[in-house]
Amino acid sequence: MIRAGRLADTLIGLVPIALILLAWQAVHSAGLAPPALLPSPAAVFTRLAQQLGSPAYLEHAAATLYRLFAGFGLALAVGVALGVAATGSRAVGAVTGPIVRVLAPVPKIALYPAFILTLGFDDASKIAAVFVDAVFPILIATRQGTAVVEPKLAWSARAAGVSPARCLVTVVLPAALPSVLTGARIGLVISCIVVFLAEMITSTDGLGHLLVRAARNFQTVDMFVPLITISLLGLTLNAAFNALRARLLRGFPEES
């Protein structure tokens, strides 16, 4: 029953994508937009298939994925660590609380020029941009998840002689895992968006760079290909994350 429900959800989720492709094809076929500006879906996906067989294109995709995972990995480690520490320490909570309230609403991509000036044009500035955008939803979700864990769990562990720090890691954090993973999923989606934007602003490689280069040369088919690629990567990463989440949360009441 659970697998059938997930399959139905997947099929329902494909409906909007199919409608977008149909609308795209309809606009192209009706001539509502010049073919030079809006190529057909068939032309774009044919070119995508060609590019996926090109080592040079795959190197650009690999550069994007490296920056994405490096920034997201750092955000996950720091966000979870600070969220747990803020629950276990009033001092950490007092420090991180104002920072989150002030900086979380700020569009962090606006800080990218500062990262370029301080970290250069290479990978470091793009990884930093991904990190600062992804860390806040992970931190907030971890903090909220650990804060509402049933106190009796921690009391029982402490009564058994478990130290406060170990209690946070071995009792509180696992109990807050659903909330932590929700924040991580949001952070992963944000990472996909930010790395693409950062590469569009300034880069000599990556999928965002390919899109801007194609647009400057008025190669509209090649302009759509990186956009479709990052969309497919996002869908794939989201599906993989959901599968991992279902596996990690097996046995949780809200997941059964």
Confidence of residue 2 (pLDDT cuts 50, 70, 90): low
Query: What are the residues whose beta carbons fall under 8 Å from the beta carbon of 189, sequence distance 6 or more?
Result: 234, 238
The SS3 assignment for 248 reads helix
Say which residue the tokens 């920072």 belong to.
99
Q: How confident is the model at residue 255 (pLDDT cuts 50, 70, 90)?
A: low
Instruction: Give the span between the Cα atoms of 231 and 218, in whole angstroms.
Output: 21
Tokens 């959800």: give the residue. Answer: 9
Contact criterion met (CB below 8 Å) for 212 and 204: no
C-alpha–C-alpha distance, residues 73 and 95, integer Å: 23
Per-residue b or e along 157-167, where b marks 16 or more CB atoms closer than 10 Å to that residue's CB: beeeebeeeeb
Condensed to tens digits (0 to 9), the pLDDT of residues 65-74 reads 999 999 999 9
Chain Cα centroid distance, residue 193: 7
Closest-CA residue to 191 (of 135, 242, 115): 135
Non-local (6+) Cβ contacts of 123 within 8 A are 63, 66, 67, 70
Task: Indicate yes or no: pTM above 0.85.
Answer: yes
Using the predicted structure, report yes or no on whether residue 133 has a pLDDT greater than 90: yes
Give CA 42 to chain center in angstroms: 28
Report the alpha-carbon distance of residue 244 to residue 256 in Å, rounded: 15
Mean pLDDT, range 122-140, rounded to an integer: 94
> Does residue 9 register a pLDDT over 70?
no
Instruction: Check residue 5 and give its pLDDT.
Output: 58
**Chain segment 74-120, per-residue pLDDT in tens:** 999 999 999 998 888 888 888 888 888 888 888 888 888 899 999 98
Mean pLDDT of the chain: 87
| Residue pair 236/61 in contact by the 8 Å Cβ criterion | no
Task: Give CA–CA dist 144/62, Å, rounded.
Answer: 34
Name which residue leads in pLDDT, 10 or 184: 184
Output the pLDDT for position 248: 87
| 43 and 221 Cβ atoms separated by less than 8 Å | yes
The DSSP secondary-structure symbol of 226 reads H
Q: Count how many Cα atoms sit within 13 Å of the Cα of residue 1 in the half-sphere of its side chain.
A: 1
DSSP 65: H
Q: What is the DSSP letter of 205?
A: S
Neighbour count for residue 62 (Cβ, 10 Å) = 12
